[in-house]
Structures are given as structure tokens and as C-alpha cells.
Chains A and B, each alone.
Chain A
């Protein structure tokens, strides 16, 4: 065979392949006439063409194992180690692309087990949202069965390298280290133990922000199905230099193990050395040293203050309960050292304490005693909490099933989207839609699986929150939210009907409350009231039956307050007062048991706030202001303890707003304006911090509108008009996203009327430079008309309620405009 003849064979092979058997034979008969070798060649190739070939398994080929991992396209390899490989990868999804780090676990791990383990952990891990923690985003297995984890991609240098490269001094290193501690503390509070803290797992970004990697991954990988393997597993997976004695022994691991590893890291940061002297670096030798050697005092290896010696050694104690009780305590002790205060690591020596104390204070020996007592008390409390936490955690771990997978994949990625990708509404909506599809499928399949049904109900409620419940970040889709809540309600009712566990009923009560809140948002008050009453009825029944539902009394007070609010909105002031009083009693009872209870504190303040508003409506603004100031005091005290609580900030703003209103009622215009400005500033800040949050935008508009009103009364017409125009824009945007947002529509109507008032020479006698009187009347009339149209629409939808009077006022104002325009000389109607 030569190339020429081969090309003839190829030509015939190509042509024949396309044909059916009969035509094929005809073709070959014709083309190969007389050349039986050619015919045999082509026939034998055609025969081989039929079957499978080793060449088409897209070879080893088309499975480019290392070009993608699951849905992630690999961009570059960034690391490699005992556990596997780390890649930089991107995920290209609908509308957005993000770079991530993908850790591919090498062969040899028990994939199924690792994945099951990961499934049970991923929701918890996904919820770790802290500036110093690299987030775990996803996980799964490749087509060829290797587990992988997807994490936030951090570009940075490892902790030791960073400190060395930048030649950080001791305080600089300690500051970084304390940030790592804050990450660990945060995770511990959420019941997650890291288990593999080491400098390689702390990357410091160019901005100097340390990020802790691999939270919880060590646990997922530690295939310690039975305790006998644990030691071996620990050694295989962990870095023995950083593992605690209990980890090496395969004993129970607690938050204290992380404290120990932090101690090793701190040791290395301060001295550049490891705590134990070893000859070789065999794991066995290191393990033996960790178990038996006392670490050398860091000060023998580097010039560091004695306090730091004690701090490091306390973290490195062999017995977990003699270490710092928490990472927070370790961090606090470092802070105390930095500020020259006594450190608890050395508290046992009285002479030391006295020296420290005298160095700082000349007076007040009692203060030292108080400090000591509170420190010891603190340790005891945290130890107990840590144990309870661990038990709760173990309990929670047992409740795992497939629903988690979908809620995690969709809802939690969705949460990421909310936080990081403001403005990508279509992508987020898509995610919600997908989540609903999956939920629908699961709901149909798992009818008999009680725990699955519970998870489903929770997931539907979560979706509903994300779609449209006020008070949290949401998409402003109240119709969608209503559907989701109804789906949850249906599931919970079926669960309740089939043998009613108390917690299912409680969950159902919670669902009715959510529905009620949603109906308020939609200004469907009769429905809201009905849902609220259902909720309280279920909870009261639970309380009567003595069911073990935690915090039930507070929850009942919560619903009562909510019902009071609805009653007030419907105009039933006496009913509202009665309901609110019962709510207040409930919260106060809870506060008597635990004065620091945040929820009860917030509840009481909220109830007082609402009572004030009812009192104002009853014509007693003085009493109203008293109530509101009580509420403000509670909120501000809570905010001092929880400065990051956005909800509390909003509460403070709303209370300030109302106090301003009462001041105005009482003729104290200056005070009113000051309060309103304060409220306005807080809502501006909140909306700026979370620009997609419908609730925050609504609150911003609300305060802005009332500030405009006060400014107009003060003659600041230009400023007032500017604010009302801004309110109009905010509300128009909200309505575009969710036409059923009744609040936004009412506020829009109000802002239009407000602009009309500011422009109307009759309402606002102050001059407006650049506008003739006739022009002011005309513009005013246009605003009133628009306001009236909106009120008419609200009335037509049956949602006017107590706002009827406002609508009438606008109507009267408009009539006055028309009249003025007729009577004003020189005004020509076009």
C-alpha cells in the first residue's frame, strides 16, 4: 500500500460509510470493479468502523481530568501537598464569573465517606462569614470520583512568610495574630472547629488582612469512622507539629485543640522556631515530643517579654482544660499585654499581679479584685458553653439529608450573590427559581420522610424570606414570597396533622407569623391579622400543653406585639393597646429571668415604641414621647453591647423618628428637627451599607419624607423639595421591582403630596427663588394630581385603611390649587 492507494481507500471508506448497506454494496461493486484487494481493504475497515474503539473513549483524552473539576474550569495550579492539589479555577454561570480555589483531594481517600461528611458540614461551613475566614463555597466529586472543595480564592502569602518579608515587629505580628484569633472565635461560636491551624493555612493579603483557610476541612477528611484509626488518621492528615496532644492521641477534639494550634503558630511567629526539639522530622518523633516534651520558653529563643512567654505556654498546655478556655480569651490576654494590663496567663502569681497593678494604678485595689473575679467567672462560663455547644453540634450533625445539598447549593450560593454581587438581580432570581424547582421535586418524592419534609418547610421559608419579607435582604417579590410561605405552611400542616411534634407546630406558628408580616408589607391587613391570630393561637396552645419549645413565652409576646401593630394600623386603638400591654408583660417577665436577653430587650423596646404611636393617635403626644424615650434608652443600651446589629440601628432610627414627630406635636420644632436629622442619617448609612435591601431603602425614604416635611415647615423649601424628589425616586425604583409593595406606593403618594405642599404658596409661604407664584401653583397642582392618582389606586385595591384622611387632604389641597390658579391675576391656563 502506498499513500496514493491509501487515499483512494479513504475516499471510498468515507463515501461508503454514509450509505445504507444495500447502497453501500452497490457503490463498492461499482467503484472497486475488478480490484478485489481494494474492495477487501475497504470492507475490512468498514467492519472495524462499526464497533467501539479504544480510541474513542474520548480517549483518556476528552476527559481532561485536570482542565476542570466539576463545573469549575481550572486556570492554574497554585499548590500541591500531602492532601492533594489546589487550583485556581473559575466558574462560569449565568451572568457572572468568579475565581475560586479548588482543592482536589488525591486518590486514596474514601470518597463516599468524605463526601457524606462534607454534605453534613457544608451548610455550617458556608455560613462562616467572617473577614478573616476564606469561605467554603462548594464541594463535590469529579467524574472520576475524587472529592473536591471549593473555597474563596485568596491571593496572599502565608503568615510566617508575610511577617518575615515585611519585617513586622512584635506588636505588628500580634495584631495579625489577634485577627486570626477573631476568626477562630467566630467559628467556635458557630460550633465549628478548625482542627488544622498552621501558618500555611493563614494567608495574608497584600492589604495585610489574614485569612484562615480550610475551616472544617480537616474534619471532613478525617475518616475516623472508628476510634482505633483516629491516631493514624490524625497523623496522616494533620501536620503533627501543629496538632494538639489530644489530636495525636485520637481523643475527642474540642475548641481547645484549636487554641493549642494557635499557640504553636504564635510560638513560631515570635521565635521563628517550633516549640519542641526534635532530631529528625519524622511524624512519630514529632508526635512523641508533642505528647511528652515541655515546650521551651519562647524567651530562651528570642527576645520577647515575659508576659508573652506565659501567654504562649498557657496556650500550649498539654491538658485542654488548663489552656485558655477560648481563642477569644487568648486574644484578649494578648490585648491586655499590649495595653500593659495583667495577663491571665500569669494570674496565679500574686507578686506579679501586684507589680502590674501598681505600675498602672495608684488607687483602687478593689478594682483588681473585681477584674480577677470576672476573669475567673468568664473562664468557667465559656468552658461550660463550649461543652454545651459541642453537644448541640453533635446533635445537629445527625440530622442530615439530601435537602441540605440543594438548599446549600442554591440558597447559600445565593446568599453569596446578595453579599458580593450587588446588582445581579437576574442571576439571583434565577437561583431562587431553580431552588423552587428542586424543592418542588423533593416535596413530591419524599412524602413519607418526616425529617425531609421538615427541611423542605424550612427551605421554603428561607426562599420566601429571600424573595420578599421585609426586615432582611430580599428581592422585593412579595407574590413569590407568599407562594413559598404557603408551600411551607402546607407541608407543616401535613406534618402537624400526622402526629404533631411540638416543634413542627412551633414551626407552623412561625410560618403564620412570616405570612402575617408579608401581608402587612402588602397592606392586606385583614389577612395579616388573621395570620397573626393563628400564630398566637398555636403558640398559646403549645404553652398550655407544657411542650418543650425553647423561648416560647418570648415568642408569644412577639406575636402579640405584632398583632397590636396590625390592630393599630386598622384603627382599633383600644384593641392595640390591650394587645401591646400583654406583649410588654411577656417581655418584661423574660427580662426578669435574664436582663441581658437581647431578643426580650428588643421586644420590649419595640412594644413601647408601638404603644407610643398608638398614644399619639389617641391625641396624647406627651405620653407617647415618654414611651418612645423609654424604648430609645433600651435600644441604645443594646446597641452599645451589639454595635454591629443593623436591625438595632434601624430600631434606633425609627424611634428617633417618632420622638421627633412627638416633639413636633408638642410644638418643640427645633428638637423635632434635630431628632429627625439623626434618624435620617442612620437610615442613610444603613441603606448605603446594603444598597439592594428593600427594607433599608424603604426606611430611608420614610425618614427622608418626614425630614422634608419638617424642613418645609421651617421654610427650607429647596432642601425639602430635593428630599421629597429623592423619596419619589427611591419609591419608584422599589415599585418597579415589586409592584405589590403597598408601603412604597403609599410613601410615594405622600412624597408627591409633600412636594405639592412645599411648592404651594398657601402651605409654604416662604419664598422660592426662581419660581413665580403662578409657576409654584402649577407645579404644586401637578404633584397633588399625581399623589391623588396614587391614593385612588390604593383605594381601588382596597388598601387605603387609615390613610383615607390623608387622601382627602390631598384632594382638598388640589382643589385649592385649582381655585388659586383661576383667581390669580395674570395666570393663563394653557
Chain B
């Protein structure tokens, strides 16, 4: 079993925690420093998972985001609000990572069709992992953002960041009810767009 030690090299919880708090106080520069740190950590984690894909390991985006959060942020100092902000950044980053990964895969397969990243880490063989075409989802989200940026953001937060409706409302500074409404219609729209594809 592992001993109680071992933080990832490079970014320490202190850095990210401090930046997150600074950003929370309105320091926009902090955000600029924050994003690369989060991206780096997520990329590291994702690489580790994706390398194992062949060995039957599947990717669970939210697990990664959560993992990154736990590694990077000192939970004792950070308020709920900051946590939401972190997840907002992380969900965006995660989306980028997954899309990059899917593109690379596609290229390797010389355009051999869409890449399916299993999105559920469930193990029971009776319930096969639900799959979603990440590239199609990404394109659809871009189209949705053109119609209503908030709706696309909510999907991103929920799907790639694992935020609940409450947390999403918190991050966006709006009410839960309006998040529910927005998500509901975005959901129907995406389902239609993706099933048509």
C-alpha cells in the first residue's frame, strides 16, 4: 500500500489554492496563471489514463477533474464558491483534452471514422458503457454556444466537470431554476443533433 506521501511534482496545492483565492477576490491575472496549472495537471492525469485505454481502462472525465482538484487544491482553505470556479476551469480544460485526444486517435486511424470514448467507468458487463462521440459533441456544443452560450456552458460544466445543477448555478451566478430550464432544452437539442449525425 502507498505510504502517506507523494504529491505531483511541479504544482503544489499552495499555488493553485492561492491563485484560486486571489481570483475569487477579483484578481483576473490569477486566472491566467491558474489555467495552465490546471491544464498541466489534467493532461498528466489524462495521459496516464489514456495510455491504459488499450488495456481496457476507460476514461472518466469527471474522475480526472476530481482527482486534479484534490491534488491541486487545499480543501480546508477554499470556499465552495472557489471550488465551483475551479471546476468551471477544469471542465473546459477537460473538454479540450478529450477533443485533442479524439482528434489524435482519428488521425492515427487515418480517418477511420469516429472515436468513441466510453464515458462511463461502470464495470458490470451487463451494462455496456454508454458511449458518446466526443468530436460530434464538441461540434454540437460549439453550435449551441452560438445560439446560447450559457446553455453550452452548463452542459460543459455538468458533462465534463461533473458539477451538479446547484453548483452550476453557483458558478454562473444564476438560480437553480434557470439552470434547470436551460439544461433541459440544451439536452433535448443535443440529443436531437447527435442522433441525427
Q: What 0/1 readout, one digit per residue, does chain A (641-662) give for beta carbons within 8 Å of chain B? A: 0000000000000000000000
Give the 9 A-B residue pairs with the shortest CB-CB distance, closest first: A81-B2, A200-B3, A66-B66, A6-B147, A61-B162, A48-B188, A79-B2, A45-B188, A48-B191
**Option from A9, A107, A201 in Cβ contact (under 8 Å) with B1:** A201
On chain B, the residues within 8 Å of A84 by CB distance are: 1-2
Closest to B163 in A: A61
Assess whether B170 is interfacial by the CB under 8 Å rule: no
Closest to A217 in B: B1
Q: What 0/1 readout, one digit per residue, does chain A (174-202) give for beta carbons within 8 Å of chain B? A: 00000000000000000000001000110
Closest to B159 in A: A59
CA separation between A639 and B8, bound complex, in Å? 53
B70 adjacent to A55 (CB under 8 Å): no
A81 adjacent to B130 (CB under 8 Å): no
A64 adjacent to B2 (CB under 8 Å): no
Return A222 CB to nearest CB of chain B, in Å: 12
On chain A, the residues within 8 Å of B184 by CB distance are: 13-14, 17, 49
Return A59 CB to nearest CB of chain B, in Å: 5
Assess whether A7 is interfacial by the CB under 8 Å rule: yes
A86 adjacent to B121 (CB under 8 Å): no
On chain A, the residues within 8 Å of B155 by CB distance are: 55
Assess whether B176 is interfacial by the CB under 8 Å rule: no
CA separation between A17 and B67, bound complex, in Å? 37
**Option from A67, A79, A144, A154 in Cβ contact (under 8 Å) with B122:** A144
**Option from B120, B147, B185 in Cβ contact (under 8 Å) with A57:** B120
Assess whether A321 is interfacial by the CB under 8 Å rule: no
**Option from B1, B74, B122, B190 in Cβ contact (under 8 Å) with A196:** B1
CA separation between A51 and B1, bound complex, in Å? 44
Return A586 CB to nearest CB of chain B, in Å: 50
Assess whether B79 is interfacial by the CB under 8 Å rule: no
Return A534 CB to nearest CB of chain B, in Å: 50
A45 adjacent to B60 (CB under 8 Å): no
A-B contact pairs, 17 of them (CB 8 A): A3-B147, A6-B147, A10-B181, A48-B188, A48-B195, A58-B164, A60-B119, A64-B162, A65-B60, A65-B63, A74-B70, A80-B2, A81-B3, A81-B6, A84-B1, A158-B4, A196-B1
Closest to B59 in A: A60
CA separation between A75 and B130, bound complex, in Å? 30
A45 adjacent to B192 (CB under 8 Å): yes
On chain A, the residues within 8 Å of B5 by CB distance are: 78-79, 158, 200
Q: What 0/1 readout, one digit per residue, does chain B (56-77) give for beta carbons within 8 Å of chain A? A: 0100111100110011001110
Closest to A81 in B: B2
B148 adjacent to A3 (CB under 8 Å): yes
On chain A, the residues within 8 Å of B158 by CB distance are: 55, 59, 61
B191 adjacent to A53 (CB under 8 Å): yes
Return B4 CB to nearest CB of chain A, in Å: 4
CA separation between A218 and B2, bound complex, in Å? 12
Return A10 CB to nearest CB of chain B, in Å: 5
B2 adjacent to A60 (CB under 8 Å): no
**Option from B62, B123, B183 in Cβ contact (under 8 Å) with A60:** B62
A158 adjacent to B70 (CB under 8 Å): no
Assuming A45-B192, A54-B130, A145-B123, is B161 touching A61 (CB within 8 A)? Answer: yes
Question: How many pairs, one residue from A and one from B, have CB atoms within 8 Å of each other in the complex?
Answer: 154
Assess whether B50 is interfacial by the CB under 8 Å rule: no
Assess whether A350 is interfacial by the CB under 8 Å rule: no
Q: What 0/1 readout, one digit per residue, does chain A (20-61) give for beta carbons within 8 Å of chain B? A: 000000000000000000000000111111010111111111
Assess whether B132 is interfacial by the CB under 8 Å rule: yes
Closest to B118 in A: A60
Q: Which of B1-28 contact A (CB under 8 A)?
A: 1-6, 13
Assess whether B80 is interfacial by the CB under 8 Å rule: no
Return A104 CB to nearest CB of chain B, in Å: 10
Return A477 CB to nearest CB of chain B, in Å: 38
On chain A, the residues within 8 Å of B71 by CB distance are: 77
**Option from B60, B76, B185 in Cβ contact (under 8 Å) with A10:** B185
Closest to A218 in B: B1
CA separation between A54 and B190, bound complex, in Å? 10
Return B192 CB to nearest CB of chain A, in Å: 5
Assess whether A203 is interfacial by the CB under 8 Å rule: yes
Assuming A80-B2, A200-B3, is B66 touching A67 (CB within 8 A)? Answer: yes
On chain A, the residues within 8 Å of B74 by CB distance are: 76
Assuming A10-B148, A14-B185, A54-B132, is B4 touching A66 (CB within 8 A)? Answer: no
Q: Which of B152-187 contact A (CB under 8 A)?
A: 155, 158-159, 161-164, 181-185, 187
On chain B, the residues within 8 Å of A203 by CB distance are: 3-4
* Secondary structure call for the A interface: mixed
Assess whether A796 is interfacial by the CB under 8 Å rule: no
Return B112 CB to nearest CB of chain A, in Å: 23
Assuming A10-B185, A14-B185, A103-B1, is B70 touching A61 (CB within 8 A)? Answer: no
Please list the residues of chain A having a beta carbon within 8 angstroms of any beta carbon in chain B.
1-3, 6-7, 9-10, 13-14, 17, 44-49, 51, 53-67, 74-87, 101, 103, 107, 144-145, 154, 156, 158, 196, 200-201, 203, 213-214, 217-218
**Option from B60, B70, B130, B148 in Cβ contact (under 8 Å) with A77:** B70
Chain B interface residue count, CB cutoff 8 Å, equals 48
Return A221 CB to nearest CB of chain B, in Å: 8
Assuming A45-B192, A144-B121, is B187 touching A56 (CB within 8 A)? Answer: yes
On chain B, the residues within 8 Å of A65 by CB distance are: 60, 62-63, 66, 121
CA separation between A81 and B147, bound complex, in Å? 46
Please list the residues of chain B having a beta carbon within 8 angstroms of any beta carbon in chain A.
1-6, 13, 57, 60-63, 66-67, 70-71, 74-76, 119-123, 130, 132, 146-148, 155, 158-159, 161-164, 181-185, 187-192, 195
**Option from A6, A79, A101, A158 in Cβ contact (under 8 Å) with B148:** A6
CA separation between A196 and B74, bound complex, in Å? 31
CA separation between A84 and B192, bound complex, in Å? 40
Closest to B130 in A: A54
Closest to A56 in B: B187
A13 adjacent to B188 (CB under 8 Å): yes
A59 adjacent to B148 (CB under 8 Å): no
Return A143 CB to nearest CB of chain B, in Å: 10
**Option from B1, B61, B130, B189 in Cβ contact (under 8 Å) with A83:** B1
In this complex, the member of B1, B120, B164, B190 whose beta carbon has the largest number of chain A beta carbons within 10 angstroms is B1
On chain B, the residues within 8 Å of A14 by CB distance are: 181, 184-185
**Option from A45, A67, A85, A144 in Cβ contact (under 8 Å) with B185:** A45
CA separation between A61 and B94, bound complex, in Å? 12
Closest to B189 in A: A45
Assuming A60-B119, A62-B162, A64-B162, is B2 touching A82 (CB within 8 A)? Answer: yes
Closest to B67 in A: A66
Closest to B91 in A: A61
Closest to B64 in A: A66
CA separation between A219 and B3, bound complex, in Å? 17
A53 adjacent to B187 (CB under 8 Å): yes
On chain B, the residues within 8 Å of A82 by CB distance are: 1-2
Closest to A55 in B: B187
A14-B185, A107-B57 known; 4 new pairs, CB 8 Å cut-off, are A60-B61, A79-B3, A83-B2, A201-B3
On chain B, the residues within 8 Å of A213 by CB distance are: 1
Closest to B71 in A: A77
On chain A, the residues within 8 Å of B121 by CB distance are: 60, 65, 144
In this complex, the member of B148, B184, B191 whose beta carbon has the largest number of chain A beta carbons within 10 angstroms is B191
Return A478 CB to nearest CB of chain B, in Å: 44
In this complex, the member of A62, A156, A218 whose beta carbon has the largest number of chain B beta carbons within 10 angstroms is A62
A86 adjacent to B4 (CB under 8 Å): yes
Assuming A6-B147, A55-B187, is B2 touching A61 (CB within 8 A)? Answer: no
On chain B, the residues within 8 Å of A64 by CB distance are: 62, 66, 162
CA separation between A79 and B6, bound complex, in Å? 6
Closest to B3 in A: A200
Closest to A239 in B: B1
On chain B, the residues within 8 Å of A201 by CB distance are: 1, 3
B185 adjacent to A158 (CB under 8 Å): no
Return B66 CB to nearest CB of chain A, in Å: 4
On chain A, the residues within 8 Å of B57 by CB distance are: 107
